[in-house]
Amino acid sequence: MAESRTTHLLTTLSDDGLAFGCDYNPEQWDRDVWREDVRLMREAGVGLVAINIFGWSSINPASGVWDFSALDEVIELLHGAGIRLNLGTGTASPPPWLSTAHPEILPVAEDGTTRYPGGRQAFCPSSPVFRDYARELVTRVADRYGDHPAVALWHVSNELGCHNALCYCDESGRAFRTWLQDRYETIDALNAAWGTTFWSQRYGAWAEILPPRQTLSLRNPSHVLDFHRFSSDEQLGLYRAEARIIRERSAAPLTTNFMVTAHIRNLDYWSWAGDMDLIANDHYLDNRLDEPRRELSFAADLTRGLAQGDPWLLMETSTGAVNWQPYNLAKQPGQLLRNVASHIARGADGICFFQWRASAQGSEKFHSALVPHAGTDSAAWREVVELGEFLRLLDPLRGTRVRADTALLFSWESWWAIEGEGRPSEGLGYLDEVHSAHRAASDAGLTCDIVAPGADLSAYRFVIVPALHLIDDRAASVLSDFAAAGGTVLVTFSSGIVDADDRVRLGGYPGAFRDLLGVRVEEFAPLLPAQQVTLGSGAQARTWSERMTVADAEIIDHYVDGPAAGMPALTRRASGDGAAWYVSTHLDPEPYRDLVARIAAEAGAVRGPGHEGLEVVRRDGETHSYVIAINHTSIDAAVPANGRDLITGQTVSGSASLPAGAVRIIEEIR
């Protein structure tokens, strides 16, 4: 297998085993703690440390005043201990002197109110003043450390757009208009794309266009959609501006930490991924969700999709509780290892944490860390040391790749469109639909790649398209061509409804896929929150139903009750050697899993032994293949495998026992 550039870069982050790292904020501690920190990092096997993430006010304490002495000292301490640096550019949060001198850099919310300093990321992404100051900071940091031998990776800013993705200030308005002029060239083209004859919204000049600030009534959805696109591009522009400066001064690779996670949706990472030397993601278990660990699996698969199947780096996660959810749950014993193993199973070649030492002050003081408030005489620290040993044992996994012949289409643009104002039902959440599809596939034993609409599908047998509301003509034809060439497709309701301008595709839903599926939906019939419908097969469903007729497909199941009683619910259209399936409602987990399993079997997609409580993913190397099995249940289990258990060193023949809560990684000869 040819080693890709990213795979190679990841191997430079650690001498042996998978990279083990963390954010380190030495600014928060006295010098004597630094020495202790470095000693403990070595004890735990931490080899990659992110610093200077929030260092701006320390190295540049006043306008024109620079003091790198503390950072120099920390860098030399870490370097002396053989620890590699994931060096932050420090631009993530401007210091108070800057916002005091230039209050015009502060971001503005959609209601027109300013967001003040006192937290972090309090800047307008389009502010030229902010960008000037950030440029100077990055230039100085890159000049000083660009060729330092400890710098293994550049960490541009931090979670770009986490808090300030959407800024509605006048400066953002100016930048938005420039972006629109690039996109549409003429105001007439913009008027046509946005459908501005509606409600007398026609623009006569660019200067009349504002960011989509809060209005009395519903806003123009195409305007809002373009503002999302613009805002994602502005944040990417911040990355690019820093990257240009660093690349002139350093040969080390660059990345920034993505937030592929359930609670962030404002960045279209498909358009960012190509700028990264390696893909890095931050992920925290979100206990507000019904199934946090399933969301983790989905996010990890999506991160691998962004990395185009290459290994990637988990840049931040937590050993235990976070501090930003309403109920910040501690992890169960063993849960940390299972979470980490899920990321690795799905392609992570390095695991890093926020943060090294739990803060004593500041708004994150109750966030877990590698060194807890209790110190090293704690179960948490012992788990950290064990984790370091575990990661070292996984050296053979480096550079291996997850193989999947099932793909799931995912789109941030479509997410923005489907959850816009004035939609048929607030009960339809894009992530709910995507997560349910991913869950059904996982429970059916499938490993899914997550890919962008329009991506090459030739490597797949089966493609799942959950609630892909917005799709452009080209991406729609890629899917139709895939089915015509013998691929099997499952499309779910609310897909193919609008084009790239958010214009409804007329003639019946699901417009873009009507011919592919051989069905024609005349009317949506969404359900009330507590309402369920029953299908002829006995399956229960919720959220949505549709009044549809079938032109050229077989009716597999129909509605027994509800607003579409008697009408088709599930259809299949044969297409060449493949088939195009359509499900017009949100099936409950069991019937959804059974449907996906049935279609996968028909498609000839490879199904593994994984199911509801058992996560089993395979990573392939040139000579060996690795079965990563995680038992999330309290019942002992087993998985078929033959080879060597990387953790215990024991030989496995036929089947590997997988006790309740355990993780096994079995090396098999290919």
Residues that bind ligand GLA (CB under 6 A): 158-159, 282, 284, 316, 322, 354, 364, 367
Task: Give CA–CA dist 267/218, Å, rounded.
Answer: 23
Q: For 113-166, what is the HEC assignment?
A: CECCCCCCCCCCCCCHHHHHHHHHHHHHHHHHHCCCCCEEEEECCCCCCCCCCC
| Token digits of residue 612 | 């509801």
Indicate the residue among 295 and 316 with the shorter CB distance to ligand GLA: 316
Those residues whose C-beta lies under 8 Å from the C-beta of residue 188, and which sit 6 or more positions away, are none
CB of 196 to ligand GLA, least distance (A): 39
CB of 647 to ligand GLA, least distance (A): 28
Catalytic residue among 316, 433, 615, 667: 316
The position carrying tokens 């409602």 is: 585
CA-to-CA separations, 638 to 32, 66, 631, 653, 669, in angstroms, rounded: 49, 59, 9, 12, 19
Distance CA 448, CA 347 (A): 12
Q: How far is the CB of 419 from ligand GLA (least distance, A)?
A: 23
Q: In what order do the strands lie in the sheet with 643-645?
A: 401-402, 614-620, 624-631, 663-669, 643-645, 651-652
Residue placing its CB nearer to ligand GLA in the complex, 268 or 282: 282
Q: Pick the closer one to ligand GLA by CB: 316 or 433.
A: 316
The answer to whether 171 is a known catalytic residue is: no
Task: Confirm if 142 and 151 have CB atoms less than 8 A apart.
Answer: no
Nearer to ligand GLA, 53 or 637 (CB): 53
Four-point Cα dihedral 450, 455, 457, 459, nearest 10: -70
Asked if 255 and 278 count as a contact pair (C-beta separation under 8 A), the reply is yes
Would you give the DSSP letter of residue 265?
-
Of the pair 51, 652, the CB lying nearest ligand GLA is at: 51
* Separation in Å, CA 593 to CA 252, 463, 483, 625: 45, 15, 21, 27
For 495-512, letters b (16+ CB in 10 Å) and e give: bbbbbbbbbebeeebbbb
Could you give the dihedral angle defined by the CA atoms of residues 125, 130, 133 and 139, in that order, rounded to the nearest 10 degrees?
A: 10
- Closest approach of ligand GLA to the CB of residue 117, in Å: 16
Of 284 and 462, nearer to ligand GLA (C-beta) is 284
DSSP state of 207: G
Cβ distance to ligand GLA smaller for residue 159 or 349: 159
Spatial separation of the C-alpha atoms in residues 534 and 588, rounded to whole Å: 10
Q: How far is CA 22 from the centre of its chain?
A: 19
Please give the Cα distance from 412 to 418 (Å, whole number): 10
Residue 667 catalytic? no
Choice between 322 and 434, CB closer to ligand GLA: 322
Distance of CA 5 to the CA centre of its chain: 21
- Report residue 133 as tokens: 């100051």
DSSP 292: H
| Contact in structure between 266 and 107 (CB atoms under 8 Å) | no
Q: Given phi > 0 = left and psi -120 to 50 = alpha, else beta, which region is 52?
A: left
> Which residue's CB is nearer to ligand GLA, number 364 or number 419?
364
Residues 314/350, Cβ–Cβ less than 8 Å: yes
In 431-472, beta strands by DSSP E? 448-451, 462-465
- Return the number of the residue (234 or 282) whose C-beta is nearest ligand GLA: 282
Report the amino acid identity of residue 442: S
Q: How far apart are CA 582 and CA 600, in angstroms?
A: 14
Q: Which is nearer to ligand GLA, 358 or 587 (CB)?
A: 358
Distance CA 87, CA 113 (A): 34
- Could you tell me the smallest distance in angstroms from the CB atom of residue 364 to ligand GLA? 6
Least separation in angstroms between CB 49 and ligand GLA: 14
Asked if omega into 640 is within 30° of 0 (cis), the reply is no
Q: Which residues are catalytic?
A: 159, 316
